[in-house]
A = this chain, B = another copy of it.
Amino acid sequence: MARTTGSDGEKTEAAVREAAVSLIARLGYEAMSMRQLAAEVGVQAAALYRYFPTKEDLLFTLMREHMEGLIEAWDAARPTVADPATRLAAYVENHIAFHIERRHSTHVSNMELRSLSHDRLTQVLRMRTAYEKELRAILRDGAEAGVFSVEDTGLTAMALIQMMTGVIVWFRPGERLSISEVTATYLSMTMRLVGAAHGATTTYGAVRAFERARTL
């Protein structure tokens, strides 16, 4: 046997990516074998090497595209106004929505960093740092403007990101809480954490609107 009827390179490659994200998220990168992945796609292991030269190339591709997607999503969601509270709210909303939507690839990008070569790890971490820098800038602007009370911008940014990303550990779609309920609760926790509640700026109304929306 050889080429199968109806086979299509683009479709196979997409199927490989999809199955790889799901398998690596479930089993871990090291625990997933190329034969297992191939079986999930419905193909022989050798066929995978037409699309990804090595197993690590496959992992790196998934991670790079995850980070690119996250940065693109933020670029699209980034508000034009300068108000720190509005920008922070947008950052939280985008972060949680993206990570819930892409739970599996988030898992892969967070858990399998140590399986990358040094150079590729650096590339992924560079993208991650660039994304986190946006949050630090928002916190700094808010602190300088006096609308946030943040003691340590860097530490607060890390705490917030870990708190928000952690949502993928326990959140399961279709259970007790909806995505918008979760987002609203995290938003109000964030605003309290950075001390924005005392600021009572114009955008504080927007936060309250989220809190109301949650109770519906």
Contacts and interface: CB of A to CB of B under 8 A. Distances in A.
Interface in A189-205: 189, 192-195
A46 interface: no
A35 interface: no
A182 B155 contact: yes
A94 interface: no
Contacts of A214: 151
B152 A185 contact: yes
Contact of A30 (B31, B155, B161, B188): B31
Interface centre among A31, A160, A193 (most CB of B within 10 A): A193
Contact of A166 (B163, B193, B211): B163
Interface in A162-216: 162-163, 165-167, 169-170, 177, 182, 185-186, 188-189, 192-195, 211, 214
A26 interface: yes
Contacts of A186: 159
A189 B28 contact: no
Contacts of A165: 162
Contacts of A155: 177, 182, 185
Interface residues of A, number: 35
Contacts of A114: 26-28, 31
A28 B30 contact: yes
A158 interface: yes
Contacts of A188: 151
Interface centre among A30, A160, A167 (most CB of B within 10 A): A30
Contacts of A169: 158, 162
Contact of A158 (B31, B152, B158, B170): B170
A95 to B, nearest CB: 13
A39 interface: no
Contacts of A211: 151
24 contacts: A27-B114, A28-B30, A28-B114, A28-B115, A30-B30, A30-B31, A31-B114, A31-B115, A111-B111, A151-B188, A152-B185, A155-B177, A155-B182, A156-B189, A158-B169, A159-B167, A159-B186, A160-B163, A161-B166, A162-B162, A162-B166, A162-B169, A192-B194, A192-B195
